[in-house]
Amino acid sequence: MKRSLNLLMRSALAGALGLMMFSACAKNNNQASNGAAVDSAKMTTEANKAKVKDFYENVINKHNADVLDQYCTANFVDHNPDPGMDGNGLENNKKNFKAWFASMPDAHITVDNVIADGDLVVSMMHWGGTMKGDMGGMKATGKTANNIPGVDIVKFKDGKAVERWGYFDQMAMMQQLGMMPPPPPGAPPAGAKKM
């Protein structure tokens, strides 16, 4: 009886050790899969940031609205299009960019910073260009705007932009392009960077 009790205790102990080892292995596998999910999310976030930088270079700076579909979905929505423009859908946004490029054929954006969290990418930039053509009811002035600050927030899904919210200093742009009076004497010029 003592011998069978010892055998039973050894079997129970071996079973408990086996269960603990199985539990530890399952926990390590779960941690590994969570780590893989975190790595995958980080890779997606980095890919979205790279896509935004690539967009500024290949669409804006090369004035190539025809490649917009490489960056945006067909139902892309720009929540802050320029006045008089429709930001709904890829084709409207292509038309908007082409009008902007016709108005400012030397427009150029410099990206200052790009940060991302999940499917949102935030870019801080400044841009400039010479208004050589009319745009949205505004007559060409032939003047140049420089260092106009702006921010874009872009939402991604499956590697393409689906929505954009943005801001740029329209007052600075209009003052520099001669569409509104300059600031009063002593005031910092529009678009001046604050320290």
| Tens digit of each residue's pLDDT (9 = 90 or more) over 136-148 | 788 999 999 999 9
Residue range of the domain that includes 126: 49-176
Average pLDDT of 158-178?
A: 94
Q: What is the mean pLDDT of the chain?
A: 83
pLDDT at residue 25 is higher than 80: no
Q: Is 120 inside any structural domain?
A: yes
For the chain, what is the domain count? 1
- Full-model pTM: 0.74
The CA-CA-CA angle for residues 106, 54, 99, to 5°, reads: 40
Largest CA distance in the chain: 105
Q: Is 168 in contact with 148 (CB distance < 8 Å)? A: yes
Question: Considering the domain boundaries, does residue 140 fall inside one?
Answer: yes
Count other Cβ atoms within 10 Å, centred on residue 141: 16
Q: What CATH number has the domain bearing residue 99?
A: 3.10.450.50
**What are the pLDDT digits (tens) for 109-121?**
999 999 999 899 9
Mean pLDDT, range 70-96, rounded to an integer: 94
Q: How far apart are CA 188 and CA 84, in angstroms?
A: 30
145 assigned to some structural domain: yes
Is residue 35 in a domain? no
pLDDT at 14 over 50: no
Average pLDDT of span 35-61: 85
Q: Is residue 36 assigned to a domain?
A: no
pLDDT of the residue at 106: 97
Q: Is the pLDDT of residue 29 over 90?
A: no
Q: Is the pLDDT of residue 159 over 80?
A: yes
Would you say 115 and 62 are in contact if contact means Cβ atoms under 8 Å apart?
no
Tell me whether residue 164 is in a domain: yes
Residue 154 has pLDDT above 90, yes or no: yes
- Residue 54 included in any domain: yes
Residue 20 lies in a domain: no
